[in-house]
A = this chain, B = another copy of it.
Amino acid sequence: MEVETEPKTNDQEEQIVNPWEVSGKDGGKIDYDKLIDKFGCQRLDETLIQRVERLTSRLPHVFLRRGVFFAHRDFNEILDAFERGEKFYLYTGRGPSSEALHLGHLIPFMFTKYLQDAFKVPLVIQLTDDEKCMWKNLSVEETQRLARENAKDIIACGFDITKTFIFSDFDYVGGAFYKNMVRVAKCVTFNKVVGIFGFTPEDHIGKISFPPVQAVPSFPSSFPHLFAGKDNLRCLIPCAIDQDPYFRMTRDVAPRIGYQKPALIESSFFPALQGETGKMSASDPNSAIYVTDSAKDIKNKVNRYAFSGGQDSIENHRKYGANLEVDIPIKYLGFFLEDDAELEHIRTEYGAGRMLTGEVKKHLIEVLTDLVERHRKARAAVTDSARLGYGGSDVLLMRLCNFSTVETLKSGSIVMSYSQTIPQAVGCILILSSSSLQMVDAFMANCAIIIKDDGGLAFMTPGLSNQKMERE
């Protein structure tokens, strides 16, 4: 029997990777080979990537082609099932501890968008405002505000609004989700979470209670409004490898409560501008490019802070070439420059000393400025359309609600209330159908009625985007 919750503990002193701390041995690079060995996950090899290409009939994402997503658990089983014609769903998330996201935060979402598009599958995105409230000692209200702000950035990544459900824990915990939290919590001892997460007896019980909250979105029954009757739907979790401990625990528990183990596809960490020694730090704004940075900020940060592998003089650079292994502009281009041939050209010329650091940085500044500008526009569109439709950003989260029950609706039966899923956004959403509530005006039939916090009403036809929503 597979035991996943007790990773090998050799060299634990040297390299630390858990959801709250990432540091390499002696302050150096993370050794990802050792991490795979320690965590007991599998390397995402070329064969698997080729299989993805064949199954999706499209070029694999650069993050796959270039090894950003480098490890997995049972991803092959997800592909086996997909090949048999079975769907799965995606689950990813974010802990909303800061206002603005940096590029590293976008990595899982950009990759998840690719997976959603390529496999045409539903997606749930968890915003762990409760976690950040407990770990960062922020107020409930502040983490909820950050969750709403971060949700806009996530929406800006362009997910399929008919297949995506974004929720924050403070909004969504309850009902089927809470029942699964209890089912998981029953199977995990305090000693176990000490082994997995390094908790101590001096930690507060909020921390000790949290792992089941991040575990249960792995189970389709936590989302009855999305996956009713699909309890065996497989779940694939794209995430950075520091989140692996949560899902080792989840995979250990799943079969004991009659659920499928979630599969994982895991990324390395996006390097800081100053060099590749772990994750970026939110406390040092100059360590990262933020999605709120201006073109001038980006130019300044890349030129001043991006660690260069170039030589200290032009003469030496021409003679020895750049050290690509430590060069941050080259690393960043590897993430964001889509054109393989162009990237290879830059690597060759720069590595041979024929291209200078300044030229590579100029290239990177162009790529990043374009990326951030596109994100900024997409994010502004989220806000604007939400305002247009509803008069406030509070109902933003519901834009991405998946009205998966639209077929049921068409047949005239009542489906369900969405109010539990997004209580902070709306007082109540009631889906009515004409045959079961005949005295209701035709305008309201087959609509969601949204009662907002201020008492106003909005109506929404399921399956339509918010541009088509009408308001009383």
The verdict on A146 contacting chain B, using a C-beta distance below 8 Å, is no
Residues of B contacting A169 in the complex (Cβ-Cβ under 8 angstroms): 178
- Within A438-453, the residues touching B (CB, 8 Å) are 439-441, 443-444, 449, 451
Residues of B contacting A175 in the complex (Cβ-Cβ under 8 angstroms): 170-171, 174, 423-424
The verdict on A185 contacting chain B, using a C-beta distance below 8 Å, is yes
Residues of B contacting A416 in the complex (Cβ-Cβ under 8 angstroms): 427-428, 451
| A231-251 vs B, Cβ < 8 Å mask (1 yes, 0 no) | 000000000000000000000
The verdict on A157 contacting chain B, using a C-beta distance below 8 Å, is no
Contact B130 A182 (CB under 8 A): yes
Residues of B contacting A185 in the complex (Cβ-Cβ under 8 angstroms): 134, 204-206, 209
Contact A205 B201 (CB under 8 A): no
Contact B428 A417 (CB under 8 A): yes
The verdict on A393 contacting chain B, using a C-beta distance below 8 Å, is no
A208 contact from B174, B187, B190, Cβ within 8 A: B190
The verdict on A47 contacting chain B, using a C-beta distance below 8 Å, is no
Q: Bound complex: CA of A185 vs CA of B440, how far in Å?
A: 45
Of all chain B residues, the one with the shortest Cβ separation from A172 is B174
Residues of B contacting A140 in the complex (Cβ-Cβ under 8 angstroms): 179, 182-183
The verdict on A9 contacting chain B, using a C-beta distance below 8 Å, is no
Q: Bound complex: CA of A185 vs CA of B209, how far in Å?
A: 8
Q: Bound complex: CA of A175 vs CA of B421, how far in Å?
A: 10
The verdict on A315 contacting chain B, using a C-beta distance below 8 Å, is no
The verdict on A455 contacting chain B, using a C-beta distance below 8 Å, is yes
Residues of B contacting A202 in the complex (Cβ-Cβ under 8 angstroms): 189-191
Contact A430 B413 (CB under 8 A): no
The verdict on A305 contacting chain B, using a C-beta distance below 8 Å, is no
- Chain A residues with a Cβ closer than 8 Å to the other chain, count: 61
A174 contact from B173, B209, B449, Cβ within 8 A: B173
A13 to chain B, nearest CB (A): 23
Q: How many copies does the complex hold?
A: 2
- Within A203-262, the residues touching B (CB, 8 Å) are 203-206, 208-209, 211-212
Residues of B contacting A42 in the complex (Cβ-Cβ under 8 angstroms): none
Q: Bound complex: CA of A238 vs CA of B431, how far in Å?
A: 41
Q: Bound complex: CA of A29 vs CA of B175, how far in Å?
A: 42
The residue among A134, A427, A444 with the most chain B CB atoms within 10 A of its own CB is: A427
Of all chain B residues, the one with the shortest Cβ separation from A433 is B455
The verdict on A71 contacting chain B, using a C-beta distance below 8 Å, is no
Contact B430 A449 (CB under 8 A): yes
Q: Bound complex: CA of A439 vs CA of B445, how far in Å?
A: 12
Q: Bound complex: CA of A414 vs CA of B429, how far in Å?
A: 13
The residue among A193, A413, A414 with the most chain B CB atoms within 10 A of its own CB is: A414
Contact A134 B203 (CB under 8 A): no
Q: Bound complex: CA of A444 vs CA of B438, how far in Å?
A: 12
Residues of B contacting A437 in the complex (Cβ-Cβ under 8 angstroms): 457
Residues of B contacting A183 in the complex (Cβ-Cβ under 8 angstroms): 140
| A8-29 vs B, Cβ < 8 Å mask (1 yes, 0 no) | 0000000000000000000000
Q: Bound complex: CA of A312 vs CA of B457, how far in Å?
A: 77
Residues of B contacting A162 in the complex (Cβ-Cβ under 8 angstroms): none
A256 to chain B, nearest CB (A): 12
Residues of B contacting A417 in the complex (Cβ-Cβ under 8 angstroms): 417, 419, 423, 427-428, 451
Q: Give residues in A with beta carbon < 8 Å to B.
A: 130, 133-134, 137, 140, 169-175, 178-179, 182-183, 185-194, 199-206, 208-209, 211-212, 413-417, 419-420, 423-424, 427-428, 430, 436-437, 439-441, 443-444, 449, 451, 455, 457
Q: List 9 A-B contacts (CB under 8 A).
A: A173-B174, A185-B204, A190-B202, A190-B204, A192-B205, A205-B212, A209-B209, A414-B457, A428-B430
